[in-house]
Amino acid sequence: MAGELPFALTVGGVAFLLGVIWGGPFVEVLRRLRIGKQIRVELGEGHQRKVGTPTMGGILIVLPVVLIALGLNIVNVIRTVTGASILLPLFVLVSFAMLGMIDDWEGIQRSRGRPRGEGLPARVKFGAQVGLATLVATVISLYDGGFQFANQMALPLLGIAIPISPALFIPLTVFIIISMSNAINLTDGLDGLAGIITASAFAAYGVIAYLQGQIFLTQLCFILVGACFAFLWYNAHPAQLFMGDTGSLALGATLGTVAVMTGQWLLLPIIAIVPVTETISVILQVTYFKRTGGQRLFRMAPLHHHFEMGGWSETQIVQRFWLVGLLSAMIGVALALL
């Protein structure tokens, strides 16, 4: 086991190099196909200049992760239960990416009865998320042999884990997966923000999985880190590529799944403090707006737009949010060790 962490880190580096190499041609293909992002009209002039920037960049993350993870573990997937367990987060990654891809495509095309840029109806999108998350939660609950840490709740600081009954575990897991999927989606509003925050969170859970002896999950986490870094090569300000819902829904749902598989999902609000805070800001904004008859608690939600309208530059917001995200990820790992 001593050499497994260096190997996982090396594989993450390989994922980064491969992503950077094929990312340039991929961006050019999207540009030629005019797969361009549509921007909400209420956002400022700086965002309006981004109209037409290639989107669906999540493909740049998802495709190499799936190929590398399966390529490294194909024998283990066939022979062992723990090896086969890696198929579940990969299924989450691919299925939510496909949902996001459909949403991105609908946002690009002109649809009947919906203006350009709106994507799938919210009910359809949420219903698909619930269906996928329920399937995943049910599989984890029934397939206990391959998810030895999943059907429990680890209590930080106390060093104990409490078993959870399927009746509670399934709806709880569904909530975690959907919440984190939408949280990363809300965070994806500035160049480089969602990618760097998600990479930090996966690195934290990669370390936690390693400490638990979940080697296959450790490899997957660091492959995702490398792929996110490759995406950031093209998404750093000024962005040449946006991940779109293809990336944000997939990464968020996979992060939630990984947290459940480690049993350390109570640490998720700490490790992923930025996406969680972004989501809370939207909930508070909507609630306050409705109860006060139109007044706003924040200048604009999600929270990164509040700071943007307060005069912070896009780069300042991303760098400061990343510092918070990195420190919170470190604290989360420390709590998992206690």
Q: Is 162's pLDDT higher than 70?
A: yes
Q: Please compute the mean of the pLDDT values over residues 212-226 and round it to a whole number.
A: 93
Distances (CA, A) of 148 to 170, 194, 209, 265: 16, 30, 12, 14
Of the candidates 12, 4, 3, 56, the one whose C-alpha atom is nearest the C-alpha of residue 235 is 56
Which of 21-35, 42-56, 142-156 bottoms out in mean pLDDT, i.e. has the lowest? Answer: 42-56
Name the average pLDDT for the chain: 88
B/e letters for 33-47, b = 16+ CB within 10 Å, e = fewer, are eebbbbbeeeeeeeb
pTM for the complete prediction? Answer: 0.92
Max CA-CA distance within the chain? 61
* Per-residue pLDDT at 4: 82
Of the candidates 212, 154, 189, 190, the one whose C-alpha atom is nearest the C-alpha of residue 335 is 154
Residue type at 110 in one-letter notation: R
* Per-residue pLDDT at 138: 93
* Per-residue pLDDT at 113: 46
DSSP H helical ranges for the chain: 4-32, 45-48, 58-79, 81-84, 87-108, 122-142, 166-187, 193-211, 215-235, 244-262, 268-271, 273-291, 303-309, 314-337
**CB half-sphere exposure, 39, CA atoms < 13 A:** 17
* Per-residue pLDDT at 112: 39
Distance CA 243, CA 231 (A): 8
Give 173 or 161, the one with higher predicted confidence: 173
Using alpha carbons only, how large is the chain's radius of gyration in Å? 19
Q: Please compute the mean of the pLDDT values over residues 208-234 and round it to a whole number.
A: 94
* Per-residue pLDDT at 205: 97
* Per-residue pLDDT at 95: 98
